Amino acid sequence: MLQVNFIKENQELTIAGLQKKNLPNAEEAVSKALELDQKRRDTQKELDDTLAQSNSISKQIGMLMKEGKKEEAEQAKAQTGELKSKSKELEEVLREVSIELTEHLYTLPNLPHESVPVGRSADDNETVLTQGEIPKLHEGAKPHWELISDYDIVDFELGNKVTGAGFPFYKGKGARIQRALINFFLDEAIAAGYFEVQPPIMINEESGYGTGQLPDKEGQMYEATADKLYLIPTAEVPITNIYRNEIIDEANLPIKNVGYTPCFRREAGSWGAHVRGLNRLHQFDKVEIVQIRKPEDSYQALEEMIDHVKGLLEKLELPYRILRLCGGDMSFTAAITYDFEVYSAAQERWLEVSSVSNFEDYQANRLKLRHKVDGKTQLLHTLNGSALALPRILASILENNQTPEGINIPKVLQPYCGFDKI
């Protein structure tokens, strides 16, 4: 959530940033935030003055009674009664305008970093690195949705029977590869200094608002309506919310956590060949890395996280590229995002497998996540990254490593799988 004082002191910068994120009517949105803030300040001052006046008069009542000025004391009592009634009205106005201001600020996206390119869609993203050799497949090579059927390692029909479309069963060696990838990603993160946590896969409303998933403008979260709980879209949400309403001791920074969870996304409106097979699911597995850093260290941490994901893809021997997302293709909460895509040789296209983002202090302001600097509290910066999401990684491994004799397993995964070929 943007800070009102920052908006007030940097109006043109805020408007330009919101426009870069393609927010309609950015100027009006900024003006409304400042008007609500001024109304809140004016109401607070009037309330403070009213309470001060009431307290001052209340102190006089006892003196007037001692001096025998009963009539004047009664008048003072009546006046304090009126002031108390007025203060209650002002308190209600203050409460309402504070809620309205907070709800308005929730509608404003994070401002993009200055290096974020201008653009409206994925077509405007910048390719910053392409790495690895694209494999040349044998004649008759198949896309992964045919391979998984041929080898009976992922079953979409069974998932559709039990739950619905987008909830596949992984079977036999398919299940073992899933487990191998999860363990490999976790081991690599732990070796890089991340602390493993296994968080809940449901969150409450406070957590959803804390990291910016709520309000859910696109309706992408599954909700357990009876209890107002939500199935998580990523482990980022529960892991980052560990530190909601916390003041972190300097000695405990930086914080580096990793967690594996199933993830759930409704992906409402998704259809077509580009979402076939494992390309887009309603439930999928992912290992997520999360960092909490001091503001001056967060961009160094971002580079470290990017290098970590690069290392995973190189060990899996997958060709990949890194994109710096434009303002229009970034998430609501991110200040900067780098997407990793792996090349699917059978589909002949790039598949997104990771997003690594710095949210700067946007989430921290929602979370009230702070540390102390020279005795004063200061917001921290939050970062996260997929390291990695499994479905498209599995799709690429299957497609890129297929041979007429079977599918070769990357060497780094063989000890985890217990086999080297399907």
Whether residue 152 lies inside any domain: the answer is yes
Residues of the chain with pLDDT under 70: 268-274
Q: CA-CA distance, 285 to 169, in Å (whole number)?
A: 12
| Residue 352 labelled as part of a binding site | yes
| Residue 82 labelled as part of a binding site | no
- Looking at the fold, whether 203 and 292 belong to one and the same domain comes out as yes
Phi-psi label, residue 121: left if phi above 0, alpha if psi -120 to 50, beta otherwise: beta
- Looking at the fold, whether 84 and 135 belong to one and the same domain comes out as no
| Residue 349 labelled as part of a binding site | no
| Residue 377 labelled as part of a binding site | no
Span 369-395, pLDDT tens digits: 999 998 899 999 999 999 999 999 999
What is the structure's pLDDT at 270?
A: 54
Query: Domains in the chain: how many in total?
Result: 2
Q: CA-CA distance, 30 to 153, in Å (whole number)?
A: 53
| Residue 74 labelled as part of a binding site | no
Q: CA-CA distance, 258 to 268, in Å (whole number)?
A: 28
| Residue 384 labelled as part of a binding site | yes
Burial class (CB in 10 A: 0-12, 13-18, 19+), 279: buried
- Looking at the fold, whether 39 and 145 belong to one and the same domain comes out as no
| Residue 341 labelled as part of a binding site | no
What is the structure's pLDDT at 235?
A: 97
- Looking at the fold, whether 75 and 182 belong to one and the same domain comes out as no
- Looking up residue 253, the CATH number of its domain turns out to be 3.30.930.10
- Looking at the fold, whether 102 and 133 belong to one and the same domain comes out as no
Whether residue 178 lies inside any domain: the answer is yes
Domain stops at, among 106, 130, 149: 106
Whether residue 51 lies inside any domain: the answer is yes
| Residue 139 labelled as part of a binding site | no
Long-range contacts of 338-342, Cβ-Cβ distance < 8 Å, separation of 24 or more = 338/128, 338/302, 338/306, 339/125, 340/309, 340/310, 340/313, 340/386, 340/388, 342/313, 342/318, 342/392, 342/393, 342/396
Domain stops at, among 106, 135, 163: 106
Span 110-154, pLDDT tens digits: 999 999 999 999 999 999 999 999 999 999 999 999 999 999 999
What is the structure's pLDDT at 382?
A: 98
- Looking at the fold, whether 59 and 130 belong to one and the same domain comes out as no
Domain stops at, among 62, 77, 106: 106
- Looking at the fold, whether 261 and 351 belong to one and the same domain comes out as yes
- Looking at the fold, whether 67 and 163 belong to one and the same domain comes out as no
What is the structure's pLDDT at 274?
A: 64
Whether residue 111 lies inside any domain: the answer is no
- Looking at the fold, whether 128 and 88 belong to one and the same domain comes out as no
What are the φ/ψ torsions at residue 349 (nearest 5 degrees)?
A: -160, 165
What is the structure's pLDDT at 61?
A: 82
- Structural domain boundaries, residue 208: 122-417
Whether residue 116 lies inside any domain: the answer is no
- Looking at the fold, whether 154 and 11 belong to one and the same domain comes out as no
Whether residue 115 lies inside any domain: the answer is no
| Residue 360 labelled as part of a binding site | no
DSSP string, 207-254: HHHHHT--S-TT--S-EETTTTEEE-SSTHHHHHHTTTT-EE-GGGPS
What is the structure's pLDDT at 107?
A: 95
Whether residue 167 lies inside any domain: the answer is yes
Alpha helices per DSSP H over 140-211 = 144-151, 156-162, 173-191, 205-211
CA distances from 83 to 57, 141, 361 (A): 10, 82, 40
What are the φ/ψ torsions at residue 18 (nearest 5 degrees)?
A: -65, -35
Whether residue 286 lies inside any domain: the answer is yes
- Looking at the fold, whether 100 and 245 belong to one and the same domain comes out as no
Reported pTM: 0.93
Contact 342, 393 (CB under 8 A): yes
Q: CA-CA distance, 160 to 169, in Å (whole number)?
A: 9
| Residue 234 labelled as part of a binding site | yes
- Looking at the fold, whether 25 and 136 belong to one and the same domain comes out as no
Sheet arrangement for strand 202-203:
202-203, 229-231, 223-224
- Looking up residue 73, the CATH number of its domain turns out to be 1.10.287.40
